[in-house]
Amino acid sequence: MAAAAVETVALEHLPATHTVLLALYRNVANASFLQEQLLSRNADFEYAFVDASTVVSRFQLLSAVYKAVSAEMAGAMRTPNVHSEMVVSLSSNNNISEAYRRYGVQPATKDVVVVKVLISREGSPSSLTPEDVEKHLETHVQGDSVACSDEELAKVTDWPKLRKYHKLNGLPWIEAIKDEEAKKKELEMLIVSAMAMRGT
Partner 1 sequence: MATPEPVAAIQPPPPPADATHEFPLPPILQRSASTAELITQGAEGRLYRTTWLAPDRFCALKHRPSKPYRHPTLDARLTRHRILSEARILQKCRREGVAVPALYGIDESQGVLSMEWVPGRPVRVEVNEYLQRRSGKYPGRARDSVARDEEGAAPLVGLMRRVGEAVGKLHKAGIVHGDLTTSNMMVRPWERNKKTGPINGSHQEDDDDTEHSLEGEIVVIDFGLASQGSADEDRAVDLYVLERAFGSTHPRAESLFPVVLEAYKDTFKAASVVLKKLEDVRMRGRKRSMLG
Inter-residue contact 72 to 179 (CB < 8 Å): no
Closest CB to partner 1 among 160 and 173? 173
**Spatial distance between the Cα atoms of 38 and 58, rounded to a whole number of angstroms:** 23
Binding status of residue 192 toward partner 1 by CB under 8 A = yes
Q: In this structure, how many other beta carbons lie within 10 angstroms of the beta carbon of residue 1?
A: 12
Q: Which of 62, 86, 68, 72 is nearest to 9 (CA)?
A: 62
Inter-residue contact 114 to 25 (CB < 8 Å): yes
Binding status of residue 147 toward partner 1 by CB under 8 A = no
Question: Judged by CB under 8 A, which of 3, 15, 80, 131 binds partner 1?
Answer: 15
Q: How far is the CB of 31 from partner 1 (least distance, A)?
A: 27
Residue-wise burial string across 92-119, b where 16 or more C-beta atoms lie within 10 A, e elsewhere: bbeeeeebbebbbbeeebebbbbbbbbe
Binding status of residue 189 toward partner 1 by CB under 8 A = yes
Binding status of residue 96 toward partner 1 by CB under 8 A = no
Q: How far is the CB of 15 from partner 1 (least distance, A)?
A: 4
Binding status of residue 193 toward partner 1 by CB under 8 A = yes
Binding site for partner 1 (CB under 8 A): 11-16, 59, 62-63, 66-67, 70, 74, 76, 171, 173-174, 179, 181-182, 185-186, 188-190, 192-194, 196-197, 200
